[in-house]
Amino acid sequence: MKPAPFKYHRAETINDATGMLASLDNARLLSGGQSLMAMMNLRYVMVDHLIDLNPVSELAGIRIDRDRVELGGMTRQRTMLESDEIAIRAPVIREALGFVGHVQTRNRGTVGGSLAHMDPAAELMGIAALYDAEITLTSTRGERTVSIADYPMGYMTPNIEPDEILTRVSFDLWPQGHGYDFREFAQRHGDFAVVGVGSQLTLDDKGEIDRAAVVLIGVDDGPVRLNDVEEALIGETPSDDLFRAAGSMAAKQEMMGDALITADYRKRVADAFVRRSLTNAAARAKEISHA
Amino acid sequence: MTEKVFVGQSVKRLEDPNLLTGKGQFLDDLKLPGMLEAAFVRSPFAHARFTDLDIEDARKMPGVVAVYTAKDLPDVMQGKRILLQVPNPAITNPITQEPLASEEVCFVGEAVAVIVAESRHEAEDAAERVIVDWDPLPAAGHCDTALKPGAPVAHSDMTDNVAARFSLGYGDIDKAFKEAKHIIKERYVPHRGTGHPMECRGVCAIYDAVSDAFRIWSSTQTPHNTQRGVVDMFGMPEDKVRIITPDVGGGFGPKNQVYPEEMVIPAAAQMLGRPVRWTEDRREHFLTTTQERDQVWELSAAVDDDGYILGLKGSLIHDAGAYLPWGSIMPYISATTVPGPYKLGSYKIDVTVAFTNMVPTTPLRGAGRPQAVFVMERMCDLIGRELAIDPAEVRRRNFIPADAMPYKMGLTYRDGAPVIYDTGNYPESQNKALARAGYDTFPERQAAALKEGRYLGIGIGNYVEGTGLGPFEGATIRILTNGRVAVYTGATPAGQAHKTTLAQICADQLGVDISDVDVVVGDTGMMPRGAGTYASRITVNAGSSVRTASIEVRGKLLKMAAAKFDVEEDDLECVGGLVRIKGEQGDSIGFSDLAKMTSGMPGYVLPEGIKPDLEASAYFTPPQATYSNGSHVAEVEVDPETGLVTILNYVVVHDCGNVINPMLVHGQVQGGVAHGIGNAILERMVYDEDANPLTTTFAEYLMPTAEMIPDCDIIHMHSPTPLNPLGVKGAGEGGTIPAPAAIVAAVENALQPFGIRINECPILPQRIVELIDAAGTDKGEE
Amino acid sequence: MPDGKHTREINVVVNGEPISAAVEDRYSLADFLRKVIGLTGTHLGCEHGVCGACTVLVNGDAVRGCLMLAVQAEGCEVTTIEGLANADGTLGKLQQAFMDNYSLQCGFCTPGILTTLTAYLRDHPDADEPEIREALSGNICRCTGYDTIVKAALSVAAEMKGARA
Ligand code: FES
Ligand code: FES
C-alpha cells in the first residue's frame, strides 16, 4: 500500500499556499496528514500535487482575546490538548481531544485538517458546532467566513472551494462556571465514534438552565446540534427526568446506518449518552449569580 | 558442586538483544543486491470468471521489469495447484489454489497477475494498469446458506458446496436420548476472524542457474511444508529447494500454510535471474491470508434431572472458504474437542464442510477448539439455566475424575490414535480457578452492583487441548571447534523464543551456559526434515529431540575424555564447557579441544569406538498427543445501554505439564487470552451476503489494545506427561481456546435481568443491544 | 499527472547522524528509513495509521512513520529504535526493562512501542498505569497481551522518579 506518485510542494506562507492551490491542477493540501496520508497509502485518494502547509507558521497558534478564541488551521491537536488557557476557558475542548486518535496522531494532527477532512465522527467538528464557530477560508480571491451551520455540504464534503485554505476557526467562549461534558462511544480508545455527544450549559441564580448547547457527532455527515433538546432544557431545573427526556428526544433524530453500525443502534447509544452527558455537564455547572 | 540448571528457570531471552536494537532481520529487512519488488493484481470480486487480461499498459510503466499472468508462468507450473497439506478420504472435493488464477477467481483478493518492478511503489502503480475483463458470478456466502438447495456454487464446475462430510462419536446415543428426562437444544454460531500477526506474510527468492536451485526466504511457520509445496510445484529434488525463515513477526496459525505467492515469487526470480521479493501489506493480509472460525452448530443434550449429560448429539457445518489447503483438519479437531473435560455418556456429531467464496480457512490459534469449547461450555451453562443448577456445579458433576487418568474417551484424534487423555486434574483445575476468582461471593458483588445500576457477570470456560502432535520435529547437536554448541532444528519460531527454550534444554545436558549455545531454526538447508510450528508442538517435539541428542553428544564427549584420561566415564562430568574428572583437582579438557581432536589432528589416533564426530541427531516421535488443560473464569461489567463489555477480572488455571521457562509460558497464556478476548468481544471479519469483505483495515477490524486487556491472574498446575522425556505439554493456544466461552458466559450472566441468550462469538456491543431489545423484557430495576 | 519521478534532496539528522539523501516525494518517512538509508528497525504493520509499529521520534515527538512523508522531515532530528541504546552500545534503560520483563515475543511491534514510550516517559515521568496504557493505545501488540510491556514502562518510570528524588 504505497501512494500513487505526486509532486510535493512546500508552502512557507499563506500566500504561497493559495497561489499554488490556484495554479496547480488536481492539487490537495497536506496538513497533519493523519487521515489524508492513510487514504493516499490505500490509493483511495490520488493527487498530482500535494501542497504542504506544515511550514506555514502563521497558520499555527491559539489566540484568545477576551472572550473570543481563534485557532489557526495548523494548530496541532496536541498543542490544544496541552494548552492551559484552553483547559481553563474551554475545558470541553480538552475533554474532546482526549478522544482524538492517539499520542502519535495528535502530535501531527491539526484543527484545520480535521475540519477540512470532515469525518462524520470528527470531535473537532462537534466542538465547532457546540460553539457556533465561524470558519475562515482564504484564497487568492480573498477571505470568506462560513458559519459552522453552513459548513457541511454532504458526506465528507465541507463548504470549501477548490482554491481555498481553511486558515482559522473562531468562536466565543462560554462564561466561567459553565457546565460541560464531552463523551463518545467507541469500543476502543481513539477509534471513530459510533456516537459522540458534546454538551454545555449554564445555570442561573435560581439553579435553572439558562443556556444550553448539545451536539451529536458520528450520526450524520456533519455534527448535529439538537436545537429542540436545547429549547426544552431552558428554564428547567436539572433532573434525572429532564435529561432522560432529552435523551429520548435525541434518539428521535434521523441517523445514518451502514454495513457495520445500524441507525437504530446509534439512536440507542445517543439516547443514553445525551442523558449522561447532560447529567455530568449539569453537575459541573456552577450556579451563576446574576445579582 | 552444583551446576546451574536452566530448565524450569525464567532465563532471559536470547532473541532480545537484536530485536531491542532494531537488528532483527524480518523478511522485508533483507537486502540482496539487485532485488526486485513484486505486487499482485487481485480480484475485486468474490466469484468471477475473466476472459481478457490486458497487461500491455502495465508492462510499459516506469520501473516495471516483468508482468506475469497464469499462462506466463513456467511450463512445469501449468495446470498445477498447490499441494493439499493433509489429504483425507472424507474430502469429496480436494481443491486447492492455483499459483495465479487462470480463468476463475473464487474469493476477493485471489491473484491473477504479478508485477515485478524496481520498487514496490512502481509495482503498485503498474498493478493499477492491468485491465481485466471480469464476468462476475453469483457467490456462495455464509456456510449456512451455502449448503441450502439452489445456493450459488463457490466453483462453477461444482454442483454443490460440499467439500467433505464425516461423522464421529461413541456410545449409544439413541438410548441416551430415549432415557433422558430433559432434551436441551441450541444453535451456536462462531464467526470468522484471523491471526493478524503484526508482520504480514512475505516471500523472497533467488534462483541459482549454475546449480539449478532455489533459495527462498519466507515469513512462514513451516519452512518444510513450503519446501514440499515448491518441490511438488517445480518438480525439483528437495536438496535444490532451500527455505529459510528470517525473523518472523508473529504467526498464530495462518503462516502455517503454503501460499500461492510462495510459488509465484520463485518462478519470477527464476525467469528474471534476479532476486524478487513480495511483502504482503495489511490490506492484502485482510483479503488473502487464511482465516477461521465460521461454523454453525445444532446441538442437543440428553440430560437427567441432576444435570448429568447422558448424550450430546448434533451437526456441525464448517466454512472451508474457497479452497481446502488444510483439508478437513479443523472441523475434525472441533468435533473431537467438544467433550473436553467431561464424561459424556454418548456423543455423535455429523460434520459437513462447506465451500464458500471467502478466503480459505486454516488453523488459527486454537484451530477449531475455541468453537468446540464455546459450544460445550455454553451448553453446560444452558443446562444449568434450564435445570436451575449452578453452572459450576453442572460442570463438577460431569467432570472426568482425576483418578480416571489415563482416560480413553472413545474417539480417534486427528493423528489417527485414539483420544487418550494422559494426565490432568480437571475438577481441581476448576476449583482453583473458582476460588481465585471469588466465585462463591460473586452473587453478593453482583447484587450490590445491580443496586447501583451496574451489571456484573461471571463466566467459566474449561478445556482440554491435544498438543504436541507428531509426526516429529528433529534436532541435531554439534560441538564446534571453538567449543560452542550448535543446535539445528526444524522448529520455526514466530515469537515463542524457541532459541531460548531449546538452549536451556541443551545447556543443562551439556553443562554449559545458555550463552554458549547457538540455536539455528527454520532453515531446511540446515535441518533436512521438519514439520513446523503449529498445534503447540515445538517444546514437546523439538525439545525432546534436543534433550535426546544432547545426551548422546554428552556420551560422546565423556567417552573421548575417558579415553584421553584413561578413566571410567562415570568418573567424568561436563561442567562449564569442560569435561573433567570428578573431585577436587581433577584434570579437565575443553569441548573445543575435544572437537578439534575429532576433526582430525595429524598423527592422532581416535580412541577405539570413537567416530570422528561430536554430533548427534534425534527425531522425537510422540506416540500420541499429550493433553493440556485449564479453566478460565471471567468477571465482566456490561453497559446494557451501549453493549460495552469491560473485563474486570480474569483468572486462568493452566496445566501444561512441566515448564521449561515460566515467563515464556506466562507470555503465551497472557497473549493467548488477549487473542481470545479479541475473539470474544472485538474481532469480527464481516462479509456481506455476497462474500465481499467489509472489514479490511484495522479501523474496522478491531484488535485488542493495551487499555482493554486485563493482567490475567495465572495459576499454574503441573501434571507432567509420561509421553515425552521432558514431561511437557503444549502451551501456545490454551490462553485463547476457552476465552470466548468464559467471556460470553459472563456477559450473558450479567444480562440475566434481561433474559437474553448469547450463542455467537464475537459478541459486539451493537449485537448485545439488539438482543436486549429483542428480549424486550423489563430489566426490573430503576 | 506531472511527468517523471518526483524526488527531492533532504537533509535530516537520524540518530544523531546528519544525512543528505535523495528521496521520492511520495516516500513515507518509514519507507525512507527502511529502503533509502537501510535502517530497517522501524517496521510497517499496516500503513494505514492504526498499528503504531512505524512510530519514530521526530524532533523528540512520537509520530507515525507511515503517515508522514520523508520530505516533510527536512531539517528534523529523527530517532529510531537503532538510536535508543546507550552511547557505549549497551541497552538503554527502557530496552533493558523490556528484556528483564519479557516485554516482547516476536519483536515486530517493539520498535514502535519503545519509541512511543521513550517520548511518553520523558514527558510524563509520573505516569501511572492507566496513563501508560492510554499512551500505548495507539500501538498494537498481537503477542504479549501487554502486561509485561506495561510492567517495563512502570519500572522505568519508578527508576526515573527515584533518580529525581
Ligand atoms: S504502519 Fe504506521 S501505523 Fe501501522
Ligand atoms: S511482540 Fe509480537 S506483536 Fe508485539
CATH of the domain at A88: 3.30.465.10
What is the pLDDT, as a whole number, of residue C3? Answer: 53
- When the pLDDT of each residue in chain B is averaged and rounded to a whole number, the result is 91
Closest Cα of chain B to A197: distance in Å?
A: 14
Return the sign of the alpha-carbon dihedral for residues B544, B548, B553, B554: positive
Question: Rounded CA gap, B632 and B650, in Å?
Answer: 7
pLDDT in tens, B28-50: 999 999 999 999 999 999 999 99
Question: Rounded CA gap, A72 and A166, in Å?
Answer: 9
What is the pLDDT, as a whole number, of residue B724? Answer: 83
A240 shares its domain with A198? yes
pLDDT in tens, B347-398: 999 999 999 999 999 988 888 999 999 999 999 999 999 999 999 999 999 9
Assess whether pLDDT exceeds 70 at residue B138: yes
Q: Does domain C93-164 have CATH number 3.30.230.70?
A: no
CATH code that applies to domain C7-84: 3.10.20.30
For B248, what's the count of Cα atoms within 13 Å in the CB-facing half-sphere? 34
Identify the residues whose C-beta falls under 6 Å from ligand 2.
B 198, 250, 495; C 104-109, 141-144
Residue B625, all three cell numbers: 498427543
A63 shares its domain with A167? yes
Residue B88 banded pLDDT, cuts 50, 70, 90: confident
Assess whether pLDDT exceeds 50 at residue B780: no
Nearest Cα to Cα of residue A116 among A51, A63, A208 = A51
Q: Considering only residues A278 and B612, tell me which one the structure prediction assigns the higher pLDDT.
A: A278
Residue type, A232: A
A94 shares its domain with A35? no
Residue B643 banded pLDDT, cuts 50, 70, 90: very high
Instruction: State whether B198 and C27 contact (CB < 8 Å).
Output: no
- Delimiting residues of CATH 3.90.1170.50 domain(s) in chain B: 34-388
Residues with Cβ within 8 Å of C120's Cβ and at least 6 positions away in sequence, in order, are: A103, C62, C127, C132, C135
Residue C160 banded pLDDT, cuts 50, 70, 90: confident
Q: Does domain B16-22+470-620 have CATH number 3.10.450.630?
A: no
Assess whether pLDDT exceeds 60 at residue A242: yes
- Residue B69, strand partner residues: B113
Task: Show residues of chain B in contact with C2, CB under 8 Å.
Answer: none
Q: What's the pTM?
A: 0.94
Nearest chain C residue to A34 by CA: give it: C67
Q: Which of A184-193, B615-624, C88-97 has the highest mean pLDDT?
A: C88-97
Task: Show residues of chain A in contact with C135, CB under 8 Å.
Answer: 103
C140 lines ligand 1 (CB under 6 A): no
Assess whether pLDDT exceeds 70 at residue B76: yes
What is the pLDDT, as a whole number, of residue B779? Answer: 47
Instruction: State whether C2 and A3 contact (CB < 8 Å).
Output: no
Question: Rounded CA gap, B677 and B664, in Å?
Answer: 20
Average pLDDT over residues B324-331: 83
Residue B768, all three cell numbers: 448485545
Return the sign of the alpha-carbon dihedral for residues B639, B644, B648, B654: positive
Q: How many residues does chain C have?
A: 165
CATH of the domain at A210: 3.30.390.50
A12 touches chain C (CB under 8 A): no
Task: Show residues of chain A in contact with C8, CB under 8 Å.
Answer: 8
In a domain, A256, yes or no: yes
Task: Report how far apart the first and last C-alpha atoms of chain A are (Å, whole number).
Answer: 63
CATH topology of domain B34-388: Aldehyde Oxidoreductase; domain 3 (3.90.1170)
Residues with Cβ within 8 Å of B389's Cβ and at least 6 positions away in sequence, in order, are: B306, B307, B383
Assess whether pLDDT exceeds 60 at residue A289: no
pLDDT in tens, A31-75: 999 999 999 999 999 999 999 999 999 999 999 999 999 999 999
Task: Show residues of chain B in contact with C104, CB under 8 Å.
Answer: 13, 16, 19-20, 495
Residue type, B592: S
Task: Show residues of chain B in contact with A34, CB under 8 Å.
Answer: none
Instruction: State whether B699 and A4 contact (CB < 8 Å).
Output: no
A40 shares its domain with A81? no
Average pLDDT over residues A214-243: 96
Instruction: State whether B197 and C108 contact (CB < 8 Å).
Output: yes
Instruction: State whether B199 and C43 contact (CB < 8 Å).
Output: yes
Best residue in B278, B454, B766 for a mutation probing chain A (most A CBs within 10 Å): B766
The preferred substitution site among B198, B199, B285, B703 for testing ligand 2, maximizing ligand atoms within 8 Å of CB, is B198
Instruction: State whether C1 and A189 contact (CB < 8 Å).
Output: no
Nearest Cα to Cα of residue A169 among A238, A118, A101, A103 = A118
DSSP state of A202: E
In a domain, A2, yes or no: no
**Minimum-distance ligand 2 atom for the alpha carbon of C107:** 1
In a domain, A270, yes or no: yes
Number of domains in chain A: 3
A62 shares its domain with A151? yes
Assess whether pLDDT exceeds 70 at residue A154: yes
- Delimiting residues of CATH 3.10.20.30 domain(s) in chain C: 7-84
Question: Rounded CA gap, B264 and B234, in Å?
Answer: 11
CATH code that applies to domain B399-467+625-781: 3.30.365.10
Instruction: State whether A189 and B700 contact (CB < 8 Å).
Output: no
pLDDT in tens, A110-147: 999 999 999 999 999 999 999 999 999 999 999 999 99
**Chains in contact with C via at least 3 Cβ–Cβ pairs below 8 Å:** A, B
Assess whether pLDDT exceeds 90 at residue B451: yes
Question: Rounded CA gap, B341 and A16, in Å?
Answer: 72
Average pLDDT over residues B288-293: 94
A202 shares its domain with A283? yes
**Chains in contact with A via at least 3 Cβ–Cβ pairs below 8 Å:** B, C
Q: Considering only residues A109 and B733, tell me which one the structure prediction assigns the higher pLDDT.
A: A109
Q: A68 lies in which domain range?
A: 57-172
**Minimum-distance ligand 1 atom for the alpha carbon of C46:** 4
Q: Give the end of a domain, one of A108, A140, A172.
A: A172
- Tell me if B728 sits within 8 A of B540, measured CB to CB: yes
Q: How far is the CA of C28 from the centre of ligand 2 (A)?
A: 23
Nearest to C105 among B195, B496, B697 (CB): B496
Lowest-pLDDT range, A265-279, B605-619, B745-759, C75-89?
B605-619
Q: Give the end of a domain, one of A155, A172, A189.
A: A172
Instruction: State whether B694 and A259 contact (CB < 8 Å).
Output: yes
Average pLDDT over residues B517-521: 89
Nearest to B766 among A1, A188, A262 (CB): A262
Nearest Cα to Cα of residue B326 among B376, B363, B284 = B363
Closest Cα of chain A to B253: distance in Å?
A: 24
What is the pLDDT, as a whole number, of residue A28? Answer: 95
Residue B664 banded pLDDT, cuts 50, 70, 90: confident
A118 shares its domain with A141? yes
Lowest-pLDDT range, A20-29, A265-274, B88-97, B187-196?
B88-97
- C30 phi and psi, to 5 degrees? -65, -45
- When the pLDDT of each residue in chain C is averaged and rounded to a whole number, the result is 94
Q: How far is the CA of C32 from the centre of ligand 1 (A)?
A: 14
Cβ burial, residue B211 (10 Å; 0-12/13-18/19+): exposed
Average pLDDT over residues A188-199: 91
A232 shares its domain with A186? yes
Question: Rounded CA gap, C9 and C20, in Å?
Answer: 7
DSSP state of B753: G
Instruction: State whether A8 and C6 contact (CB < 8 Å).
Output: yes
Residue nearest to atom 3 of ligand 2 (CA): C141
In a domain, A1, yes or no: no
What is the pLDDT, as a whole number, of residue B1? Answer: 35
Assess whether pLDDT exceeds 70 at residue B604: no
pLDDT in tens, B744-767: 999 999 999 999 999 999 999 999
**Chains in contact with B via at least 3 Cβ–Cβ pairs below 8 Å:** A, C
- Delimiting residues of CATH 3.30.365.10 domain(s) in chain B: 16-22+470-620, 399-467+625-781
**Minimum-distance ligand 2 atom for the alpha carbon of C143:** 2
